[in-house]
Amino acid sequence: MQTVSAHGAAIPALGFGVFRMSDEEVARVVPAALEAGFRHFDTAQIYDNEAALGTALAAAGARRDELFLTTKVWVDNYSADRFAASVDESLDKLRVDRVDLLLLHWPGNKVPIAAQIELLDAVQAAGKTRFVGVSNQNIAQLHESVARSTVPIVTDQVELHPYLSQHALAAAAKAQGVALTAYYGMADGAVPQDAVLRAIGSKYGKTAAQVGLRWLIEQGHIALSKTANPARVKENIAIFDFALDAKDMALIAGLARPDGRIVSPNGLAPAWDV
């Protein structure tokens, strides 16, 4: 599996996310994901399926030293009495002593970034995660996180797909050695149906979904894929045997639109960069 390097972290470029997946779906699809070659798995406290993921990985006999596990701390736990305890709960559910990457899930509007970073640094110093990062931060917040953290911020996990230009954020992150991790890469089902992406895919014998994932990888981003259908898992990972040319990349870039953002919950999301 190709990796993305950031401040000493070698993160598998394609991850398997379990957002909005039930325990039953996780149990059914994780063995197929492992068999297909996935080793990077992404979950979060608020997904309420960390335990299902931990159980599925253990049941499948996955070797811990071959896995890259990411989870995210929910905003309700951004306090001295809850943060570390919530991470301990996540580790218990995942059946591990530490995760590979721990993220702040949303910046929110109640706890200052400085306080969030202090809490994140403390659990990293305690050995509960190898690397730390953030999620859904804008450029100013990312700058502050990098400046205040005592350890490197390796990624900012954000919504990223052909309809949402994140060029400004990507440039700011790159300047600080921070990788972008893309979620909602299928744009809530729009990417697999897109005529432009289908036409590009036809040149390579690939689906529009594969083109969308490949587009993210070719920009140096980490892409999170997701499916609850075991039969679809092999399709999602079969994106490392072709490359998009400059014309393809330009056509896909042209799909971006001002109203392309899908995820922006009140009280959690920051003021997005234009």
Rounded Cα gap, residues 225 and 265, in angstroms? 22
DSSP run (H or E) holding 159: strand 153-159
Domains annotated for the chain, with CATH where assigned, are 3-186+222-228 (3.20.20.100)
Rounded Cα gap, residues 110 and 131, in angstroms? 25
Give the per-residue pLDDT at 231. Answer: 87
Give the per-residue pLDDT at 195. Answer: 98
CB neighbours of 247 closer than 8 A, spacing ≥ 6? none
Active site residue 163: no
Question: Minimal CA–CA distance to 209: which of 245, 262, 162, 165?
Answer: 162
Q: Is there a contact between 182 and 129 (Cβ–Cβ < 8 Å)?
A: no
The structure's pTM equals 0.97
Q: Classify 87 as helix, strand or coil.
A: helix
Give the per-residue pLDDT at 49. Answer: 98
Binding residues for substrate: 105
Q: Is there a contact between 136 and 84 (Cβ–Cβ < 8 Å)?
A: no
Given a cut of 70, the residues of the chain with pLDDT beneath it are none
Give the per-residue pLDDT at 211. Answer: 98
Q: Classify 221 as helix, strand or coil.
A: coil
